[in-house]
Amino acid sequence: MSVDLETLRAAVATHCRVARVVVAAAQGSAPREPGAAMLVWDTGQSGTIGGGALEFEATKAARAALADGGDRLSRHPLGPQLGQCCGGSVTLATEIIDAARLAVISTEGVWLRRIDGTAALPLGLRRALRQARGEGVAAEALAEDGWLLEPVARPTRQVWIWGAGHVGRAIVATLAPLPDLAITWVDTAPGRFPADPPRGLTILPAEAPERLVRHAPACADHLILTFSHALDLELCHALLAHGFRSCGLIGSATKWARFRGRLASLGHSPSDIARITCPIGDPALGKHPQAIAIGVAAALLRHRAEALTTGNRSA
């Protein structure tokens, strides 16, 4: 998990001051991993650190911190005291975030600060900071001696979604909350998009969407699910010529068999055509738009995790 600056900025703009509660460390069995966070304000909250009694108590403590303005670290055994049987423990960092605090959060990939105590920066955090900034190693949330280091969310995957029908909307709604995806959503007219789309998207209405392919990064992931088979084919043709990280096409086995033949007649090799995945999603989950969206999201998250693991091993 990482610091979602966009969500923080929106919360501060709306509520002026919020308490950010983050899992700084976890030992044993715990409901969420280090870096999981929630935001709390006087009349509400967003995000989750795992729910249950832990989150209930953390929310009360966060509202108390809003009243007195103090940051704090607190350790919570997940046992009978909280009515939980996880058996582990978590350390929570609660910080008050306002416009002034936002301004000093680093946008260079990591946020390092001392929350409690007077200890000098520990050697382990020095090493993690150096690796994140100078060696390209993905940072993880780390806490030691009152200090906390977290990665700052930056979009690491460009996802282009072609089509704003039922499946397109379901996929966007599923992917939009993820902090490290940059989503570009394309369809043929403004009226095809929902009136209240998720925050943080790039929405591009275009009479000829295939002409936008050249503007997509060569490392982008694409999902093609327009209302028109002819447009779907044009997009497949354009993307095969342009390049991509992955490309998924909604459709049946029959549709894909016909598309393979047409793409071959347009000059694409069988190996290139095979890079397009059709159908998309997990067939075992069914064909409901939300079921397709869950399968698509799971595949993207799996590929992202594999890429991060490979990158860290080679760094």
CB atoms within 10 A of CB 52: 15
| pLDDT surpassing 70 at residue 173 | yes
Name the CA dihedral angle for 28, 29, 33, 39, rounded to a multiple of 10 degrees: -110
Confidence label for 314 from pLDDT (cuts 50, 70 and 90): very low
Reported as a single tens digit per residue, the pLDDT across 189-239 is: 999 999 999 888 999 999 999 999 999 999 999 999 999 999 999 999 999
| pLDDT surpassing 50 at residue 110 | yes
C-alpha 224/C-alpha 236 separation (Å) is 8
Confidence label for 313 from pLDDT (cuts 50, 70 and 90): very low
Helix or strand holding residue 17 (H, E) = none
In CATH, the number for domain 157-307 is 3.40.50.720
Distance of CA 162 to the CA centre of its chain: 19
Q: Which among 170, 173, 231 is positioned nearest to 198, based on CA atoms?
A: 173
Structural Rg of the chain based on CA atoms = 23
Which tops the pLDDT comparison, 209 or 156? Answer: 209
What b/e string do you get for 150-188 counting C-beta neighbours within 10 Å, with b at 16 or more?
A: bbbbeebbbbbbbbbeebbbbbbbbbbebbebbbbbbbb
Q: Please say whether the beta carbons of 174 and 190 come within 8 A.
A: no
At how many degrees (to 10) do helices 253-265 and 229-242 cross?
Answer: 50
Reported as a single tens digit per residue, the pLDDT across 241-259 is: 999 999 999 999 999 999 9
Cα torsion 274, 278, 280, 285: sign: negative
Reported as a single tens digit per residue, the pLDDT across 159-170 is: 999 999 999 999
Any residues with CB less than 8 A from the CB of 281 and at least 6 apart, and which?
291, 292, 293, 294, 295, 296, 299
Helix or strand holding residue 296 (H, E) = helix 289-314
Q: What is the pLDDT of residue 107?
A: 66
Give ranges for CATH 3.40.50.720 in the chain.
157-307
Confidence label for 310 from pLDDT (cuts 50, 70 and 90): low
Distance set, CA 91 to CA 78, 94, 143, 148 (Å): 11, 10, 9, 11
Q: What is the pLDDT of residue 264?
A: 98
